[in-house]
Amino acid sequence: MFVKHVRTLALTAMLTLVALQSVGAQEFKTGEFYAGPRIWIGNLNGAVAVGGQIERGFTKPGDVGSGVISGGLGIDWYSWSYDYPFGGGWSYTVVPVQVFSNYHFAIPKYPKYDPYLGLALVYQRVTASWDGPGAWLYSASGSTTDFAGQGGLRYFISDKFAVQGQVGFGYGTLGLGVTWKF
């Protein structure tokens, strides 16, 4: 797990250095809030997660390279179950909460594109319960906290609305959503 985090951090640093070479305007702006719903596909046992995130740009272009550093909060929910042929089954629910920071790269020739890379601190609450004989005896819950990496791309359809795709490393596989700028 540690090696995966080091690789993600190294990739983020390398791409940040590449991005520092270009200067220009972009649609993701400092001081604005960006929020919207999303779905994650490719989670454990094929479960689809639903949730949302809110993000805000903190630095101005030129402060740290040509892009913008942001921070935000995301929360998701997913569940799946497995039924046994003899009766009964297990149900699982996971609620990941992410506190994250992204670096939004500037692409002067294509300001409607908002590529970003980031890191997240992820807290996950996991519950499992048995639905079958002796159900009152069997249930469990627990939590984990870990770091994860993420990378994504927004495409601004208008000044206030964008579609978004994101790949998560450590808490989700492929996230698809929309974003409104406030």
What's the CATH code of the domain at 39?
2.40.160.20
d(C-alpha 34, C-alpha 16), whole Å:
21
Tell me what the mean pLDDT of segment 30-38 comes to. Answer: 95
Amino acid letter, residue 97: V
Lowest-pLDDT choice from 1-5, 66-70, 172-176: 1-5
Tell me what the mean pLDDT of segment 99-111 comes to. Answer: 92
Counting the structural domains of the chain, the total is: 1
d(C-alpha 157, C-alpha 148), whole Å:
29
Judged by DSSP in three states, 12 sits in helix
How is residue 92 written in tokens?
Answer: 């699982």
Lowest-pLDDT choice from 4-13, 117-126, 127-136, 171-180: 4-13
The pTM of this model reads 0.78
Give me the pLDDT at residue 42, please. Answer: 76
Judged by DSSP in three states, 130 sits in strand
Judged by DSSP in three states, 123 sits in strand
Helices vs. strands in the chain: H and E counts, helices first: 1, 8
User: In which domain, by residue range, is 81 found?
Assistant: 2-181
Whether pLDDT at 71 is above 60: yes
Q: Fill in the DSSP letter of residue 27.
A: S
How is residue 53 written in tokens?
Answer: 């995130």
